[in-house]
Amino acid sequence: MVRVLARERDRAVRLPARLVTALAEAQGEGLQAWREARTTKRFERFQPALEALLALRREQADAQGHDGERYDALLEGFEPGMRVKRLTPVLTALRDSLIPMVAALGEQKRAFPTFLSGRTYDTGQQWQFTMRLLKAVGFDLESGRQDVSIHPFTNSVHAQDVRLTTRLDPTWPPAALFGTLHEAGHGLYEQGFSPEHHRTPLASVPSMGLHESQSRLWENLVGRGRAFWVSHFPALKESFPEALADVDLDGFHAGINHVVPSLIRVEADEVTYNLHIALRYELELAMLRDELPVSELPSAWNERMRRYLGITPPDDTQGVLQDIHWAWGELGYFPTYSLGNLYAASLYAAANRALPSLEADLARGDTSSLLGWLRANLHSHGFRLPAEERVRAITGEGLTDRDFLQYLRAKYGALYGIKL
């Protein structure tokens, strides 16, 4: 507990009041400039604001201290203990494995699932089904609740007051289904802290990447898995008898795992998603190192989109301006999304080794064995260890892309009938 408090205090007191004020003002100006740039689809409107934010983030990194890599100081705010020299080789290897995988799946030219194109799904029924999903995965509705918002999020006041939101779209039910499962993963973590740690710094998550591992685990490894829908698809079909009249379990499973490169990160499937993160990480690192002028950011973005995903944004709004993170100079956050995916796969592989009947349990609609395992091995420990140390204590190994790539190759090789 003392270690956690000392770390937070040390990082805070190193920042002079002048810099804190300047950052707050620059973030407000950056957000306004970003909104205007998105409206006009012209990055040039945002460029001066981003340059100012970058200068301040460099000053912040120097004030907080680093060993020659400014990005480390910013990454520390989201992923304590992680460093560029540890992170870059893993994300680079992951990128280089995913690019040919995406190309191979694209060569199959699978049609977009018809049940996700132009059909209407009553939002009231969607809401009822998301509440069913929350109960199914073990989210405690006596100690939390779910509401509706434009973009799903989780807000934890206390382990006994965890609030989630989901999004309802009448023509895109995955927004509700997987938005709820994603936020439920975050919420389950928050509800799982040991009571003895409540109201102390130990009742917190070691890193944003580890927090994201839980949302990704429930959204993708469980929620996009066939076993989970063996028990839940019949009820889904009853909820939407017309829209799903011609869809069976296997068709539904294939549809929710359709792979296609997309311009927008938040719309990306689990095969292409980490390429979006690799692009952003590489550009952030280059800008902070003064290796990439901000004026060249749009062209560098588009070049990587072509190289990694084979597509080019038609304008800056669908390209370099799509995320809000840079509007307030939030460098160092994007890698936590990929760390979440990698940690999730490693944890799920370990859970399957410890629980040989896990897939059969899920097919029966029973998630209690998985949740119990996560509670005992991860949630209840809070911030007693840094993220990678906690993962190593659970799985026997730290950060690796092996489990994630094995998962993708097995799952999508079977779905697409090819060897990956």
Residues 275/311, Cβ–Cβ less than 8 Å: no
Q: Taking residues 183-194, what's their average pLDDT?
A: 95
Provide the phi-psi class of 141: left if phi over 0, else alpha when psi is between -120 and 50, else beta. Answer: alpha
Question: Which pLDDT band, with edges at 50, 70 and 90, does 341 fall under?
Answer: very high
pLDDT score of 61: 97
For residue 31, tell me if it sits in a domain: no
pLDDT score of 308: 99
> Which residues form the catalytic set?
183
For residue 32, tell me if it sits in a domain: no
CATH number of the domain to which 299 belongs: 1.10.1370.30
Its sign, for the CA torsion 79, 183, 331, 296, is: positive
Q: In what order do the strands lie in the sheet with 161-166?
A: 144-148, 161-166, 154-158
pLDDT score of 349: 99
Q: Taking residues 71-77, what's their average pLDDT?
A: 98
Question: Which pLDDT band, with edges at 50, 70 and 90, does 152 fall under?
Answer: very high
For residue 56, tell me if it sits in a domain: no
Q: Return mean pLDDT, the chain.
A: 95
**pTM attached to this predicted model:** 0.95
Residues 6+ apart with CB under 8 A from 248: none
Spatial separation of the C-alpha atoms in residues 383 and 192, rounded to whole Å? 12
| End-to-end CA, the chain | 45
pLDDT score of 418: 96
For residue 37, tell me if it sits in a domain: no
CA-closest candidate to residue 338, choices 213, 222, 218, 232: 213
For residue 70, tell me if it sits in a domain: no
Question: Which pLDDT band, with edges at 50, 70 and 90, does 12 fall under?
Answer: low
For residue 137, tell me if it sits in a domain: yes
Spatial separation of the C-alpha atoms in residues 176 and 183, rounded to whole Å? 10
The total number of structural domains in the chain stands at 1
Spatial separation of the C-alpha atoms in residues 304 and 274, rounded to whole Å? 13
Q: Taking residues 12-26, what's their average pLDDT?
A: 91
Range of the domain at 344: 82-420
Task: Write out pLDDT tens, residues 280-334.
Answer: 999 999 999 999 999 999 999 999 999 999 999 999 999 999 999 999 999 999 9
Q: Output the DSSP codes for 150-214.
A: SS--EEEEETTEEEEEE---TT-THHHHHHHHHHHHHHHHHHTS-GGGTTSTTSS-S-HHHHHHH
Residues 6+ apart with CB under 8 A from 75: 82, 83, 84, 87, 332, 335
Sort strands 144-148 and 154-158 into parallel, antiparallel or unpaired. unpaired
Residue indicated by tokens 């990704």: 216
Task: Write out pLDDT tens, residues 209-256.
Answer: 999 999 999 999 999 999 999 999 999 999 999 999 999 999 999 999
Residues 74/321, Cβ–Cβ less than 8 Å: no
Q: How far is CA 99 from CA 92, 96, 199, 283, in A?
A: 11, 6, 45, 18
For residue 262, tell me if it sits in a domain: yes
For residue 208, tell me if it sits in a domain: yes
